[in-house]
Every structure is written in C-alpha cells, then in structure tokens.
C-alpha cells in the first residue's frame, strides 16, 4: 500500500506533511506527497457544505480526501472544525509542540506606551486588549511567512502575535533576529487556541488497514489533552467563532485544564481552571477508550459551568456582534 499525503504549498503545510511522511516511512511504508492546489478564497459552495466541509484552512485537503485523490491529510488540529466532514476521522495526533502564543516585536517592548499589535485572531485580540486596553489591534492575515513580511514592511505596526509551534517547525524562531531584526517573548498569561501546537492526520473511516497503520503514530497524551480542549470548544461554540482559549496539560497523574471565553473587546474575560485525575503511565486500549470518554464528560462539565457563570450571556452578545 502506497500512502498518498495531500499537501498545500505553504512552508508550514509542507513541513507538516513531510514530517508525517518520514514517520510512516520509518515504519516501513511507501509514502508519496501529492500536491493539492488551493481553491483560493472561494466561498464554500453548497455541495461542500453538504459534505460537512466547512474549515477555511482545511477545506482544500478535505475535498481531495473525500474524493479519494489522497489517502491522508495533515492539518494543524487547531484549524480543524470540531465537526469533521462526513466519513472522515481523526486517525492520529502527534506529540504536542509548544502550545504557547508569542509576541514578535520590533523595538524594545514597553506595554506602557501606545502600541499597535497585528493579529487576525479574535482570541488573540481579545486577550491582548484584556491586558492592554489602550493599545490598537489591527488585522493581519496570511500564512506565517506572509505575516512576518507584512509586519516587517508596515512601519505603523510594533508587533504581531504568532503560535510558537508554527515558527519553530519551519526553523524561523531562531532566525527572527537575523532575518527580520525581530525579537520575541512568550505570552505566558495567554490561553492558547484549543489544540494549538498539535498536528493531526485525517483519513476516511472506511480505510481500516490505513487507520491501523496511522494508530501507530498516535500520541495518546496529546489525544487526551486535545479531546478535552476541543470538547470544551464544541460545547461552548454552537457554530460561532468566538474568542475561546483552552489548554490541558498532563502532569503526573493529573490534567491541569484552563480555558476562557472573552468578549470581543477583551473587557469581559471568563476563565475556568480545573484539575482532573488521569493516569499518565501506559494503559491498555480498553482503558484508553474509558479515559477518552471521561475526558469528554470532564470537558463538557467545564463548559457547562462557564456557560452558567456568565458564559451564556456573553456567547449571545458575541453572536450578535459578529452577525
Ligand atoms: N491559523 C494558522 C495556524 N494554524 C496553525 C498554526 C501554528 C501551528 C499550530 O498551532 O499547531 C498557525 C499559525 C499561527 O497561529 O500563528
């Protein structure tokens, strides 16, 4: 069986696809990369929507996967909608890289001064304004390289926010200074996007033999943590892209979970922080299924608690403002 991995042409997407390629080659499989042309910024057409293909970052590869042009797609899990397209499954997640957001800045960073921060993410904007309400936050989109270039060329912008994992994967974290003259600092008080720093492999559910191969590169710890984060997201969101952060960290026999829902202007910021007991040592596959079921219940309860404590009203307000 030759496994065809679909790839898009951004440097990060290529890195992620080749990483999965070499993991599978190490297991003795023949793996080829299959470039998939981006369908640009076309709006989702009716049939795509009916297939359940909704993610703006993931739809190009998902279409190729559903059509059978490729066998697997590699995604950043944080870009993947919580509801997967019909017939598609999460076949594996890889061990997590850094979950952190970082501030990439030009001059020495003094938050007491007026600053203009660039980000296209509602979550990052809200969390930044929650700490620094006097700052200006401007929109910044595009792939990682494009965003760095835009920051460099815009004299009015002081800094931009990135996922540390994305820059690290393509070797840019250590080159920010030499390539652009930028510095960076970890935003330790930020709560990252659910599943930030985790890559996932998607495949079609009927390919049992392939799923069995992919299960060998799955990292159970990352699966438990991202299941909690994405269940929290799914329970809260109701199909709306609200500023939601969630991070689960497995230490010893305990998962430390922290999550937040912010108002769009960052003034309101609701946080839940709970610990959950969960064995870290190796477990059998039936124990794994049980742990995942319990992880889902735990995350649903965290979301319900937040909804009860002001989250429901805040979600309604956010939906009104985004419409
Ligand atoms: N939405 C873009 C995106 N999707 C995944 C990553 C980084 C890698 C990751 O979080 O796994 C990024 C870039 C960023 O947020 O700066």
- Pairing outcome for strands 72-76 and 2-7: parallel
pLDDT tens digits, 275-306 = 999 988 778 888 999 999 999 999 999 999 99
- Residue 279, pLDDT score: 84
Domain ranges in the chain are 1-94+198-218, 101-186, 219-323
For the CA atoms of 259, 263, 268, 269, what is the dihedral angle to 10 degrees? 10
pLDDT tens digits, 37-59 = 766 544 555 666 777 777 878 88
Identify whether 313 is a catalytic site residue. no
- 89 half-sphere exposure, CB direction, 13 A CA radius: 12
- Pairing outcome for strands 136-138 and 2-7: unpaired
Provide CATH code, domain 1-94+198-218.
Answer: 3.40.190.10
Nearest in space to 52 (alpha carbons), one of 89, 84, 6: 84
pLDDT tens digits, 13-26 = 999 999 999 999 99
- Residue 239, pLDDT score: 62
- Active-site annotation holder among 41, 62, 71, 79: 79
- Residue 14, pLDDT score: 96
- Residue 46, pLDDT score: 60
Instruction: Please compute the mean of the pLDDT values over residues 113-129 and round it to a whole number.
Output: 95
Nearest in space to 244 (alpha carbons), one of 124, 123, 161, 79: 123
- Residue 1, pLDDT score: 85
Domains 101-186 and 219-323 alike in fold: no
Interior CA angle at 106 toward 101 and 110, to 5°?
80
Measured CA to CA, the distance from residue 316 to residue 141 in angstroms comes to: 26
Q: Which ligand 1 atom is nearest residue 97's CA?
A: 11
Please list, in sequence order, all residues whose beta carbon lies within 8 angstroms of the beta carbon of residue 56, skipping any fewer than 6 positions away: none
- Residue 281, pLDDT score: 76
Percent of the chain with pLDDT over 90: 83
C-beta 226 within 6 A of ligand 1: no
CA distances from residue 147 to 107, 141, 160, 161, 253 in whole angstroms, order as listed: 17, 6, 8, 10, 39
Provide CATH code, domain 101-186.
Answer: 3.40.190.10
159-163 sheet: strands from edge to edge: 136-138, 116-118, 159-163, 101-105, 183-186
Q: Which ligand 1 atom is nearest residue 76's CA?
A: 11
Joined together, the tokens standing for residue 11 give 């440097």
Count the neighbouring beta carbons within 10 Å of the beta carbon of residue 315.
20
Instruction: Please compute the mean of the pLDDT values over residues 180-187 and round it to a whole number.
Output: 96
- Residue 40, pLDDT score: 52
Q: Which ligand 1 atom is nearest residue 193's CA?
A: 10
Measured CA to CA, the distance from residue 266 to residue 242 in angstroms comes to: 12
Measured CA to CA, the distance from residue 243 to residue 261 in angstroms comes to: 6
Measured CA to CA, the distance from residue 217 to residue 93 in angstroms comes to: 8
DSSP 34: E
Measured CA to CA, the distance from residue 124 to residue 278 in angstroms comes to: 30
Using the mean position of ligand 1's atoms as its centre, give its distance from the Cα of residue 126 in Å: 17
Nearest in space to 203 (alpha carbons), one of 224, 221, 182, 217: 217
pLDDT tens digits, 238-266 = 666 899 999 999 998 999 999 999 999 99
pLDDT of 78 > 70? The answer is yes
Question: Mean pLDDT for the chain?
Answer: 93
Count the neighbouring beta carbons within 10 Å of the beta carbon of residue 228.
30
- Determine the topology of domain 219-323 in CATH: Double Stranded RNA Binding Domain (3.30.160)
C-beta 194 within 6 A of ligand 1: no
Ligand 1 atom 5, closest CA: 76
Q: What is the pTM of this model?
A: 0.95
DSSP secondary structure string for all residues of 108-129 = ---TTS--EEE-S-HHHHHHHH
Interior CA angle at 304 toward 197 and 309, to 5°?
105
Measured CA to CA, the distance from residue 52 to residue 279 in angstroms comes to: 35
pLDDT tens digits, 123-158 = 999 999 999 999 999 999 988 999 999 999 999 999
- Residue 41, pLDDT score: 47
Long-range contacts of 60-66 (CB under 8 A, 24+ apart): 60/8, 60/36, 61/6, 61/7, 61/8, 61/36, 61/202, 62/88, 62/202, 63/39, 64/6, 64/34, 64/36, 65/6, 65/202, 65/203, 65/204, 66/204
- Residue 107, pLDDT score: 78
C-beta 93 within 6 A of ligand 1: no
């Amino acid at each position: 069986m030759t496994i065809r991995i679909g790839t898009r042409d951004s440097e990060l997407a290529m890195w992620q696809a080749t990483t999965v390629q070499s993991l599978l080659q190490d297991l003795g499989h023949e793996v080829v990369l299959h470039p998939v042309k981006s369908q640009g910024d076309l709006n989702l057409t009716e049939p795509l929507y009916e297939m359940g293909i909704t993610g703006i970052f993931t739809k190009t590869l998902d279409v190729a996967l559903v059509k059978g042009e490729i066998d697997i797609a590699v995604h950043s899990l944080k870009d993947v909608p919580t509801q997967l397209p019909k017939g598609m499954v999460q076949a594996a997640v890889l061990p997590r890289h850094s979950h952190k957001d970082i501030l990439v800045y030009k001059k020495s960073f003094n938050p007491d001064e007026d600053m203009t921060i660039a980000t296209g993410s509602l979550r990052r904007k809200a969390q930044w304004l929650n700490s620094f309400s006097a700052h200006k936050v401007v929109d910044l989109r595009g792939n990682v390289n494009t965003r760095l270039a835009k920051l460099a060329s815009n004299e009015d912008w002081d800094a931009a926010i990135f996922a540390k994992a994305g820059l690290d994967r393509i070797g840019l974290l250590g080159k920010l200074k030499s390539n652009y003259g930028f510095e960076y600092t970890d935003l330790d008080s930020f709560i990252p996007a659910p599943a930030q720093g985790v890559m996932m492999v998607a495949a079609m559910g009927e390919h049992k033999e392939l799923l069995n191969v992919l299960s060998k590169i799955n990292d159970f710890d990352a699966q438990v943590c991202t299941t909690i984060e994405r269940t929290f997201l799914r329970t809260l969101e109701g199909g709306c892209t609200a500023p939601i952060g969630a991070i689960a960290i497995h230490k010893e026999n305990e998962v430390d979970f922290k999550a937040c829902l912010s108002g769009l202007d960052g003034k309101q910021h609701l946080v839940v922080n709970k610990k959950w007991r969960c064995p870290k040592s190796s477990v059998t596959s039936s124990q794994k299924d049980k742990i995942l079921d319990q992880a889902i219940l735990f995350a649903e309860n965290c979301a319900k608690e937040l909804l009860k404590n002001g989250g429901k009203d805040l979600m309604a307000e956010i939906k009104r403002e985004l419409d």
